[in-house]
Each structure stands twice: as C-alpha cells, then as structure tokens.
Structure 1
Amino acid sequence: MSSQQATGPDATSAWLDDALARRVVTTVADGDAGATATPRSAPPAGGQVDGDTSRPGLDVTAVLPYAGSRASTRTRGLRAWMMTAPVDVAALLTPLLLTQQYWRGTLAMAALTVTVFAAGGLYRARRHVSILDELPSLCGRLLACAAVVTIIAALRHDSAAYVGGFARGVTLAAGLVLVGRAFSREFATIARKRRWVEHNAVIIGSGPIAVELARLLRRYPQYGLRFVGCVDSASPLAPTALPLIGTLDQLEQLVRIVECDVLIIADPNCPELTLMEFLRRPGSASCDLWAVPRLWGSRSHGDHIGAIPIVKVGDITLSGPRWALKRASDIVFAATALLVLSPVLALCAIATFVDGGRGIFFYQERIGRHGKPFHIIKFRSMRPVDEHESQTNWSIAHDRRVGPIGRFMRRTSLDELPQLWNILRGDMSVVGPRPERPYFVEKFSAEYPNYAMRHRVAVGLTGLAQVSGLRGDTPISDRARFDNYYIENWSLWLDAKVLIRTVAEVFRGGGR
C-alpha cells in the first residue's frame, strides 16, 4: 500500500481521519443502480489523497459515502468454515457421548471426513447458500469416508458385533453431519437477510453485467455482500449507471478506504493481463475474488447471484493456513533431509576443502519473500575476483576457474544442499522461485512487470521453473510466468511433483 500524500497534508489528514471515523453512509433505494450520493463534508482545498503524484488523486469525498456499515466492519473477519467446521466436528464426535468403545475409529472418521470436506471445497464461502446444492457432494464424501474407516475396523477386529456397533456409530455421525449442515445453512441465510453478517464488495467493471449485479446485491441481502461501488479503467468522471468510485490503478487505496473484503470481476474495460497486474498487488490480493464467467455454458458449480453464474477464484497469494501448512512441510522436509544426507554433506565439505582449501561455504546476499534480503549458503565451487563480480556476474557455468569437483557439484546440484539450513531458518522454502541477487532483482523488475510478483512467497531450493528447463540463459519472462503460476496454483501435491522432477534432474545431471 503506497503512503498517502495530499496538498495541505495536516488539514487533509485531519479531515480524512474524521470522515473515516464517522463512516458517512448513504442509503440507496433498492433496485436503483444509478443512485449516487453527495457527501456531507468535503476535504480542504486541494484535498485529493493519493500515493502517486504522477496521476490525478483519488477524491475521497466520492468514496466515503460507500464506506462500510457497522455490520460489515464487525463481521469482516468471519469466514464460512468458522461455522460449518465446528458443527461438522461436533456431529462426527457425537458417538463418543454414547460409548467410548470405538473412540479410535470415531476420531479417525472425524479427521478423515474434515480433511476430505476441506479438500473438496465444502468449507469455502458460497454466495447462494442451500443445503440441497451441497447434498450430493456431502453424501458422496461421507459414504467414502465411512467405507474406508469401517473396512479398516473390520480388518483390525474379527468380531462382527464390534464392527456392527462401530458402523452404527458412523451412520449416526453421518446423519448428524447432514442435519447440522442444514441448520447451519439456514442460520447463515437468516443472518445475511437480517444483515447481521455482511461483507463489503466492490465490482470491477461498469457494463451491463456489473449494473445487474449491483442491483441484485442491493435488493437481495441473502448473498451476504454489501455493494459499495465499482471501479473500472475509465475515469470516475465518465458517464456510468453505477457509482464509479475510482479507477483500477486506485484499487489498493479504495480497498482500504471502504474496508472491502470481496472483489467481483464482472465486465472490466481492460485486458486480462492489465487486470491481473492490479489484482496481484498486496492490498487487492487480501480480498476474496469472484468472477463472472465470460463464456456461455461455463459451469460455476451451482453458485450464482440472482442466476448470474459466478466462480470463486483461487487465492493468488500464499497466506494464512495455506502458508502455515507449507511452512510446516518445509521444516519437516529440511530437518529430515539434513539428518539423512549428513554423510553426503560431510563428503561434499571434504571434497570442497581438498579442491580449494579453507572457506568451504560461500555466502551471498539474495532477495527473499516480500523483497527482504538474506544470505544464502552454498558449497564454494570457485572464488570470485571481487565482491562486484560475485553480485553482477550472471553465470559461471563455463568459467575456467571452476574445477572438476566444483563442476560436478554444480551439475548434480550438490552445492545447493547447505540451503537446507536456510529453509530451517525460514529464509527459504523447499519449493519456490529461484533466489536472485539484488542487482538482478532490480534489473529484472524494471524490465519485466510481473517479475516482482514472484516475491509473494519465499524463494526455493528448487522450483517449477527450474524443473521445467528454465535454467541458465533462458528468458526471464518465461521464468517469472512459471513462478507466478506456481504461487497461484500452489498445493502440497504440486510441491511433491516439483520435488520428484528435481530428483530426476539430479540423477540425469541436469544442473548448471
């Protein structure tokens, strides 16, 4: 988020703080998508607030009428799983109140079911809430989990009475899950209709679809969204049927001012690449992202707003529980690898010492997550003439100063093994974008717009770009595209696939 600047900074800042505290809210008639509001106060002369003085400032007086309501401020931290997950767990553990004889199987059933539900998206937010929409998926996953746990119980216990009693408990738990879901969905719908729970939503676009979405959100509160305005590439002074509160390049600032939680992509008047550039910025990426499919017949898995199909766009950053899961897997992997590979590390250290004497480790500054510098650790394969050469020489793959031992270690990537310590410290991840030196980060960020976006996550010991053949003198734009694809499609299985391909590359000697 860029820092805010204004003409007459003291007066404008005081006015802005006062206006935000009062939360100027304008009531707009249901169904009247073209209604606009006149703010009750205005900033001092010249009071346009914006962090970029190279373009016209954002007129906060045009934005504040759409600031969040009390409900949106109070409930912005709530997520769908906070209600459904506890209800599911309580239902799955209910058999323990009747008997503790099958406690191991009951706990296993609860853990497996919650995991399968989460993997299947049954804890994700939905705009159209209905138990009937979820019923096929719920039943299928419950039957699969129950079958797995019951078969394991039958294999471990020969007694038919034991297996029968356990199966009855599983059946009871599954039935209670369905009942609990029905009640939780009904309660969620009531809470939305009465506006106990709502989240501020900004629509990206100003065409016919955006107009209709705005009308639907105002008229039907059961979707849990409070429309606060729209943004588009056009100037906010241009004629439009919607309250256009700003332009796309002001999106980050608008998200903060109106306390936006949800962005809906409707029909923006800009290319997709331009739109993604703004959505990837930290302030915008913190919002939930939904999109209206552009092609007729696009399936939205039953979710819609007033029969306009919408799809939930996956998180474009790694944060929250997903980042915690990735970090935990990194710690487990790095600790295990250091223990298992300790003989190999010792041999590499001895070989490096024999090849070049003391100073077996090479330390170099690299740029990590969120642009923070750190010192990477590698086995030394050659000695640079000076620090400037170390920081600015792109490749030493064919340098004559690299001896046979160093060349072998680089080709097999054995020189990278000390970076396992960087992973344990939190400087790096097992899988992620390639760690690069500050000189090249600055150079590539200026030349390639999407390059800096790769620093949304920690850099990696290996990465999708590297195992896809993008090493050495390959286009930087291609590497950045693969790195951003990895971030936006991350999963533990994707990490596993990259690691498997990395091992194959090492055995083929496909290093630098």
Structure 2
Amino acid sequence: MNTSTITLPKARHLLLRMRFQLLGGLTFAILIPVLIRMSFGFGVIFSSNMQVTILAAFIAHTTGYLFYKRIGNFPGVAATGYILPTFALTYGLVFASIFFFRFDYSRFQAAASFIQSTLWYFGLHLATRRLAPYRLAIIPGGDVSRLESIPGVSWHWIRSPDRVIEYANGVVADLRADLSDEWERYIADRALSGTPVYHVKQISESLTGRVEIEHLSENTLGSLNPNQAYLKIKQAIDWVSALFVLVVFSPLLMFVAIAIKIDSPGPALFRQIRMGYRGLPYEVYKFRTMKRSAIIGDEKEAAITKAGDARITRLGQLLRKSRIDELPQAFNILRGEMSWIGPRPEALVLSKWYEAELPFYRYRHIVRPGITGWAQVNQGHVAAVDDVLEKLHYDFYYIKNFSPWLDVLIVFRTIRTMLTGFGAR
C-alpha cells in the first residue's frame, strides 16, 4: 500500500524523558549538596551520618518522582500542583523512619535535598509546559466524533488509509465499528510499526476519569473487579488510621459535640441507614448539621440536601464546608463498614431510587463506601438522577483503577476540597 506522510513537530523531547528527569533530579538534589559539603572537608563523605542521609534522600527522591509521575497519569491532573505535597510526603516518611530508629543523619543534606527536589521539578514544568501537547490520530468510523470535545489533546483526523501521521503518541479507533478492510490493515500496520492503538472507549476513560458501562457483556464485570490484595491492605490501613484519629482527635470531637448541643436543640450525632459494602445496609454516624425540628416532605426529598438548604444550622455550615461533620464515620471504618476513600454511600431510600433508574448502579457497592472519593473531588455533591449517572461513571473509574496511587491523589484533592469548600452543601 502506497502511503504519504503527514509530519507533525516531534512530541518526544529530551526534557520529557524519564531518564533525564530522574537522573537530573538526583544530581541536582543529592549530588550537588554533597559536593557543597565536601568543599568544606572531603572527609565528610566517609561519615556514617552523611552516607545514611544520601541513601535516605535517594530513596525519598526516587519514590517521590515515581509517585509524582504516576499521579500525573490520572485524568484532569495538573501534576505541577502535586510536586510539593508528593515530595513532602516521601521525604517526611523516609526521614521520620530514620528518626524513629534513631539513625544519625545530616539535617542540612536532608533539607537541601528536599528543597532542591521540588525546585528541580518545578523548573522542569516551567521548561516543558510550552512543548508539543499530547497528540492522538483519529481513524474515522463508529463513535469517535465525541473525542474532539475532550480538552488537553491535539487531535488529528486521518482522512484516508494512505496517510500516516508521524510522531503521534497513538492512534484511536472505534474497534467495535464495522471498519473496512483497508482501515483494518492500516490499524495492523500502525501496531506493527510500534504506534499504540487505542479503542475509543479506552482513551475516553483515560482522559475524562469516567467509565461508562453500556452493556453487561462488554465488561462481564471482570475488568472492574478491584484488586483483592490491595482491598485487604487498604482495610488494615483504614482501621489503624481510624483508631489513631479517634484517639488523637477525641478532644476536638468532644468540643464539636458540645458546640452542636449549644448551637441548636437535639443530639450531637446524626444517624442514618445507608447502602453499604456488598449492598448491605448499615447505620452511618455524622455530626448533626441540620435542625432536628425541620419541616420535611416525603422520605426521598428529606434525604436530599439542596444548595442553601434552610435546615442547615449556622455551625453546620462550617462543619460541612470543613468536612469535620464526617469524622464520626471513623467508627464505621473501625466496624469494617466504610473506608476513608471510596464511592460515597447514599441514604437507603435514594440508593433504591437510583438502582431503579440506573443500570449497574448496585455494582458500586463492590468496594467499601468512603468518606471521600473520586466522584466527590471531581464533581462535588449531586442528587438529580442525570448527575448521579455521571457520578456513577466516576465511581466505576475508581473501581477499575483501584490502587494506592489513585487513593493518594484523592487524599491530596480532598485536602484542597477542605480548604476551598468545593462541593459542600
């Protein structure tokens, strides 16, 4: 087959290569501070505290870089915003471990390594943000027209099988469409040449952070089964951290409970039956943020919190915005009913309503419900069926990509949500 070539600016740049970024970061963040210390005395490199610090900084920097790159692969993530918290997390954990085991280390070397690690990757971001964007070539046919509405990608249509787009990051096609023999040969040729070929649904999920299930057979629910090993590890981490929160923050919990009693009549805790793990109902605990004597309509309407809801108390508005009202759910975590991170549990009446309206809604219960989750940090609070359908797509994305990397990203975004009040009602 005779083909002509459409040449685009080359996307791969030295500054974008993992090898350059990591080796450059290790040099800038570890080697240079060591050379500065050695300029005051060459023998410092042979001291045990310097050797311990170099090894610890190497582990913290490498782990931080891998976390930073992995988090940056998730949809809608401006990775530069996670440089500081990611490296603060890895350096903090590594050097806290050293301090706990009473190893001697150089505070100057540790601090210099952390500061220069963040400076290096911030500098890389400034240097690379104007480079060529992510480029994908689209093969016409089937359900591919919606792709152009997804931002952040340079889309290029291949109008004929005799055209090849060079330096594209991949080729996208609707592999379920009835493509001609020429297009099928074209796809095979691109795969053989080493160019990644993506199904339209696959690339759409990766760029939007949502998974849409249209037919039971296309997934057989198997591809959405969460990693069972991580499910158990996560439950253990949840239990230990929930116990820690309840013990350490018990004075705060007592203070909030007293403040609620003073602010408005009624109990300090709010209890509600919600749909939980594996479709089993359970009783959730939260700090009460609404007036107990509020006039309500039917049960379904009462379970929905609207924007500017008149039932919310003065103190309740603050508790909801800061998410402090969620802390008593640590008791639910200790009982194995919830997780810190997962699909947000709905009131039983709402869950039954959504199940009747939305196919596959029950499948979100395959993991433990969470205090925060992927849908919450992307979408906020919703109640209408159409909005809940979009929320369901976010929940399926979380289940399909169930991993510590995604959980770390959700933690970072939740902290931002607590500071901004995004999605609170």
Give the TM-score band, short-chain normalised: 0.3 to 0.5
Is the helix fraction higher in 1 or 2?
Answer: 2
TM-score, length-scaled by structure 1: 0.39
Between structure 1 and structure 2, the one with the greater Rg is 1
